[in-house]
């Protein structure tokens, strides 16, 4: 699994068929990861949508990550799960699901990232870096936080209000993955927008000694 590039997150969409169509239209950009996120659906719909997206991702060669729910990730045979501060215990998830790639939201806190790594996180996500309409947040991360997290030797994700025009400094500061929703799915040309994000990593080397040098999860 490539650890470097666009980390695409699904948009809110009340039409499951349309959601699948929107995702299918951008997977040829080869995002490093696709995260299924739906805060509004019931358990049945979440399972059905996750299973449909898993089929798409398998065909495109893109790993699927499930937001909030590592049990659902296991149920649909996804590659991983992403847990926020209210999404369950990371230690429990690691023990119960050793094969999953586990990510953790660390917001604007290096100490939270340190705890997440100790609990078994494979990647750590910081943000919001810029104002965002995807979720309400009062916590704001800075590029210095990405640099400070380098000794943790985990892939670092930047999230929150990213665009192809403002994200380059975050890559330079050490972001291995750029997590994006609206800047791709709400763009006039979503596929072109996705490719612009991936292009930000061209010619920008991984930080020496960082696991992104190997460019793969074990």
Residues marked as catalytic: 37, 105, 135
Instruction: Enter the tokens of residue 62.
Output: 């893109």
Compute the C-alpha angle 100/155/209, nearest 5°: 125
Taking Cα atoms as reference points, which of 151, 153, 173, 148 lies closest to residue 162? Answer: 173
Q: Which of 40, 104, 45 lies closest to 70, judged by CA?
A: 104
Local structure of residue 99 (DSSP, 8 states): T
Structure tokens at 69: 């729910």
Q: How far apart are CA 99 and CA 112, in angstroms?
A: 23
Phi, psi of 117 (to 5 degrees): -65, -40
Integer Cα distance of 147 and 193 in angstroms: 26
Are 150 and 176 within 8 A, CB to CB? no
């Amino acid at each position: 699994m490539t650890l470097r590039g666009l980390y695409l997150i699904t948009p809110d969409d009340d039409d499951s068929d349309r959601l699948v169509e929107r995702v299918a239209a951008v997977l040829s950009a080869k995002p490093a990861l696709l995260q299924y996120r739906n805060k509004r659906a019931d358990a049945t719909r979440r399972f059905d949508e996750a299973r449909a997206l898993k089929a798409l991702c398998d065909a495109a060669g893109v790993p699927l990550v499930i937001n909030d729910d590592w049990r659902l990730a296991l149920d649909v045979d996804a590659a991983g799960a992403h847990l926020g501060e209210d999404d369950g215990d990371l230690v429990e998830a690691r023990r119960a699901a050793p094969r999953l790639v586990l990510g953790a939201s660390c917001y604007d806190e290096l100490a939270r990232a340190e705890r997440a790594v100790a609990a078994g996180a494979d990647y750590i996500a910081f943000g919001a870096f810029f104002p965002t309409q995807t979720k309400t947040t009062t916590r704001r991360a800075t590029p210095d936080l990405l640099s400070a997290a380098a000794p943790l030797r985990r892939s670092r994700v930047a999230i929150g209000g990213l665009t192809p025009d403002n994200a380059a400094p975050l890559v330079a500061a050490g972001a291995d993955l750029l997590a994006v929703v609206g800047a791709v799915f709400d763009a006039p040309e979503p596929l072109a927008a996705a490719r612009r994000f991936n292009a930000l990593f061209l010619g920008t080397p991984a930080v020496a000694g960082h696991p992104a040098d190997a460019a793969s999860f074990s």
